[in-house]
Amino acid sequence: MLTGKLVRVRHARNKLVPLYVEASDTGLQALAEQLLLAYRSSVSRTRGEIEDELSDLIPEGPHGLLPAGLAKLLEDRCEFEVASDHPPDELREAVFKAAAVHRADAAKAGVPFDRNAVLTEIVGSLSLTLTPSQIDRSLFADLKAEQRVQAFEDISAERLVLRYNVSLAQAILLRCTAMEARIWGETPARFRQLFRAVKFHRLICTIHETAGNSYTLKLDGPLSLFSSTQKYGLQLAMFLPALLHCKAYDLKASVRWGSERKEKQFALSAVDGLRSHLADFGVYTPPELQMFADNFATKVKGWVLATDPHPIPLDDGVWVPDFRLTHPVTGKEVFVEVFGFWRKGDIEQHYRKLHKGVPGKFILCVSEQMRADEDEEVTFGNAVYRYKRTPLPEEVARLAALVAGTGNK
């Protein structure tokens, strides 16, 4: 991530406008290639040496911010190691102790302090296979500037530039106190992915249905209830890449900026074209679900099925069912989630949470074939439907009537 000093923003009254860069800018691509060249040949060189090499590409002052930022992102992709033949801190201890004795002796004898004599003594006393000059070199090998690159994770110039834009937004969110994101037209699987990220980053999320098939997520943390705090800035910044996977979103954040921590607004939307650098896992929707929805519509009368996501807030987190069944006669609703692979313990825990949060309003469909453990027989109430090959719409409707108590109409 970019450090505060490397952030490039423009101020427009109370708005913070990051100076995103254009990925197609050929000048910028060339600069990125030059920096990449340095890092691709960086293995076994020290941080200090790389810095020296880059000094011609990175001017002092404001014009150096962009190249320095790109370089920082590349440095983050390096793995550094302490290259030394003997642990440097042990060498230091031995050398400094011996030097103190030598210096006192030299002063008494009225002769100058002899550096080489100290090194030679150390070779003997530690019974090392090192030469004095190797000790000399290894003495501070653990200093940051002397650490050597062990591996560099390569990236294309274009992706580096895209990554830069995301880092810029993240560096601003680091200083934010609260964030609100509106998301349009996504699948239940996408929402589940988002709420997993919320939980992973230990944030608190409230969710509201908003106009135009959209949901609005408000994100902050436990202490935000009492006063606005930047405590959760890092977590919110880390959450951003998950949000960037959405097709249509906009984001608003309140930021305290600069040394005076002035209140500023930051906005971001899909139009800004930021691209997540995280792989997009876990949003696959199996074709069976679509088939089930189609069959349900033709085979079942009395319940209407909707496939648009309907996140439901629970005590700890948000549940996103696959389907919503509505019983037009009574207006009652039942939510359905279909599981692929499952384990008894997980389903039990999930069941308990839903039973507490939305009693009489849910059905979980679990497959007999895709059970992942071989525990003893399990029995749940009506709210768990154990299907053989594919879930049958008629059976789900029957259970819905039972849990919702609508009778067989």
State the residues that interact with other proteins by CB under 8 A: 59-64, 89, 92-93, 95-100, 103-104, 106-108, 112-113, 115, 118, 136, 139-140, 143-144, 202, 204-206, 218, 220-223, 225-227, 229-231, 256, 261, 315-316
Distances (CA, A) of 37 to 50, 139, 174, 189, 270: 11, 30, 30, 40, 32
Give min distance, CB of 258 to other proteins, in A.
Answer: 13
- Please report how close the Cβ of residue 192 comes to other proteins at its closest, in angstroms: 19
Minimum CB distance to other proteins smaller for 75 or for 322: 75
Q: How far apart are the C-alpha atoms of 337 and 322, rounded to whole Å?
A: 5
Could you tell me the smallest distance in angstroms from the CB atom of residue 287 to other proteins? 37
Specify the residue, 147 or 165, whose C-beta has the smaller distance to other proteins. Answer: 147
CB of 313 to other proteins, least distance (A): 8
Distance between CA atoms of 184 and 246, rounded to whole angstroms? 8
Residue number with CB closer to other proteins (225 or 279): 225
**Does residue 75 contact residue 45 with C-beta atoms inside 8 Å?**
no
SS (H, E, C) the chain: CCCHHHCCEEEECCEEEECCCCCCCHHHHHHHHHHHHHHHCCCCCEHHHHHHHHCCCCCCCHHHHHHHHHHHHHHHCEEEECCCCCCHHHHHHHHHHHHHHHHHHHHHHCCCCCHHHHHHHHHHHCCCCCCHHHHHHHCCCCCHHHCEEEEECCCCHHHHHHHHHHHHHHHHHCCEEEEEEEEECCCHHHHHHHHHHHHHCCCEEEEEEECCCEEEEEEECHHHHCCCCCCCHHHHHHHHHHHCCCCEEEEEEEEEECCCCEEEEEEEEHHHCCCCCCCCCCCCCCHHHHHHHHHHHHHCCCCEEECCCCCEEECCEEECCCEEEEECCCCEEEEEEECCCECHHHHHHHHHHHHHHCCCCEEEEEECCCECCCCCCCCCCCCEEEECCCCCHHHHHHHHHHHHCCCCC
CB of 98 to other proteins, least distance (A): 8
Nearer to other proteins, 315 or 368 (CB): 315
Least Å from the CB of residue 229 to other proteins = 6
Cβ contact 255:172 at 8 Å: yes
Nearest residue (CB) to other proteins, 218 versus 343: 218
Between 175 and 324, CB nearer to other proteins:
175
> In this complex, which beta carbon is closest to other proteins, that of residue 26 or of residue 227?
227
Q: How far is the CB of 41 from other proteins (least distance, A)?
A: 25
290 CB-side CA count, 13 A:
5
CB of 386 to other proteins, least distance (A): 32
Residue 23 or 119: which CB sits closer to other proteins?
119
CB of 225 to other proteins, least distance (A): 5
CB of 306 to other proteins, least distance (A): 26
Q: Which is nearer to other proteins, 59 or 286 (CB)?
A: 59
Q: Which is nearer to other proteins, 58 or 336 (CB)?
A: 58
